[in-house]
Amino acid sequence: MFHGAIVATVTPFRNGKVDAAALRRLVEFQIRSGTDGIVPCGTTGESATLSYDEHEQVIDLVIRAVDGRVPVIAGTGSNNTKEAIVLTRYAKRAGADAALVITPYYNKPTQNGLIAHFTAVAGSADIPVILYNVPGRTGVNMAAETVARLAEVPNIVGVKEASGNLAQICDILRMTPKTFCVLSGDDGLYYPMLALGAKGIISVVSNVAPKEMADLYDAFALGEVAKARDLHFRLWPLMQALFIETNPIPAKTALAMMGKIREEFRLPLCAMSAANRKVLAKVLSDLKIR
């Protein structure tokens, strides 16, 4: 059910509030471009600074705009297990196809704590749960053995792996059932992880180049490995540029350059530096992304 190029969508703002019209337009842009799924309220969606009401608003907006055409995987994680349960239950009620639940940030739980946290969240709602491991943002790494343990929970169906550690990724793929959905959380490792057996990606780059990211997956799935590799290297400068500053600053800046959203962030995120803006603009120009 969950495969291919899935976008972790930005949350557009206008005068400090969620820009509902722009978000609906982004959903249409993604679906027209062949995106295989949409994740609202992830890291790229600035979930850490959304209020509860805004979190629910964004999930609702995306589900209604998608209208069943692709899966919606709602970000519902928190460093507070009770809050993650509340958000996951809401995603279920709203009609999301799955919940993406990040490892608790800041409080740095042990591996046993991670198992207890995710087991409690998964048990709280009858909805598929995808684990999200991104130690560079959270301060805690979920070990392959922990993922394998959690894969035994019936409704924990996959993991977004953004550790950047290919050895760990190999262990996860080796230790979990083939039905378990391993998705890349690093755009730069999208193609290498497909080669190892991953089922796709939850992507930042897909915000800006959704068709190309979807084409890469489709080529690989059809056995056109050389074509997929060529697309990987064509997109490589963009994969680098969209992380030249903290995500989602470059992605939102690029979308503003493309005329799709206003260039507006919520503190503590702020506008790109002038020097990095020039780098990003050149990459977009070179790739003819408008």
In a domain, 163, yes or no: yes
| Residues 4, 217 contacting (CB under 8 angstroms) | yes
Catalytic member of 105, 132, 191, 217? 132
In a domain, 137, yes or no: yes
**Four-residue CA torsion sign, 241, 242, 244, 250:** positive
Mean pLDDT over 80-102 rounds to 97
CATH number at residue 79: 3.20.20.70
Mean pLDDT over 48-65 rounds to 96
In a domain, 262, yes or no: no
In a domain, 255, yes or no: no
Count CB atoms within 10 A of the CB of residue 273: 12
Active site residue 132: yes
Q: What angle do CA 63, 66, 67 make, to 5 degrees?
A: 85
Q: What is the residue range of 141's domain?
A: 4-224
pTM, full prediction: 0.95
Active site residue 106: no
Domain count within the chain: 1
Catalytic member of 92, 160, 199, 252? 160
In a domain, 215, yes or no: yes
In a domain, 256, yes or no: no
Span 183-232, pLDDT tens digits: 999 999 999 999 999 999 999 999 999 999 999 999 999 999 999 999 99
CA–CA separation, 43 and 207 (whole Å) = 13
